[in-house]
């Protein structure tokens, strides 16, 4: 068996064990950058707007990060391109918005039986309008965000792309 196949099997088993254990904290690696996008409100129009901003932001950031493999390089690239990202978001939404890159607060979140602890995390936070709506979040680096075609969802969709990540980062 090839090493990649063995590593893939081990990672699949680990992910299965993590997902199968209900109400346990899942630790996101320290060398991760999260993204959080907070809607203006929870109206259908504002949630749809948040999802459009999500799609735009993730598309732009993934273009910038390309084949970046280190956390430090990812941080520098994101930080150096906040103006570019701001322009793209301006083109996507009519709401005023703020971008905050660095250590930002994330509330405790339970999603599909998995508890994600609250705390300060290295992240990019985009707040639309008053920022009183629900939020989308995922891990931006390494790229673990799932871009779904359904922009009407109000939940966070967080998936592990085990094979893709192993192939790229290991």
Q: Which of 53, 58, 55, 59 is nearest to 96 (CA)?
A: 53
CA distance 18 to 85: 34
Structure tokens at 42: 């929870």
**How many C-beta atoms surround the C-beta of residue 123 within 10 A?**
21
Which pLDDT tens digit goes with each residue over 46-79? 999 999 999 999 999 999 988 888 999 999 999 9
DSSP 3-state assignment of 161? coil
pTM exceeding 0.75:
no
């Amino acid at each position: 068996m090839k090493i990649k196949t063995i590593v893939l099997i081990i990672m699949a088993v680990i992910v299965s064990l993590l997902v199968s254990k209900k109400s346990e904290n899942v630790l996101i690696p320290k060398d991760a950058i999260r993204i959080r996008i907070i809607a203006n409100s929870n109206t259908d129009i504002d949630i749809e707007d948040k999802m459009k901003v999500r799609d735009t932001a993730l598309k732009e950031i993934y273009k910038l990060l390309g084949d970046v493999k280190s956390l430090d390089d990812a941080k520098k690239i994101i930080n150096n391109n906040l103006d570019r990202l701001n322009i793209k978001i301006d083109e996507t939404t009519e709401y005023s918005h703020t971008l905050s890159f660095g250590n930002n607060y994330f509330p405790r979140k339970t999603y599909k039986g998995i508890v994600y602890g609250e705390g300060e995390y290295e992240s990019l936070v985009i707040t639309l309008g008053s920022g009183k709506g629900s939020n989308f979040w995922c891990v931006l680096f390494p790229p673990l965000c799932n871009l779904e075609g359904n922009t009407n969802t109000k939940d966070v969709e967080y998936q592990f792309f085990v094979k893709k990540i192993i192939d790229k980062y290991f």
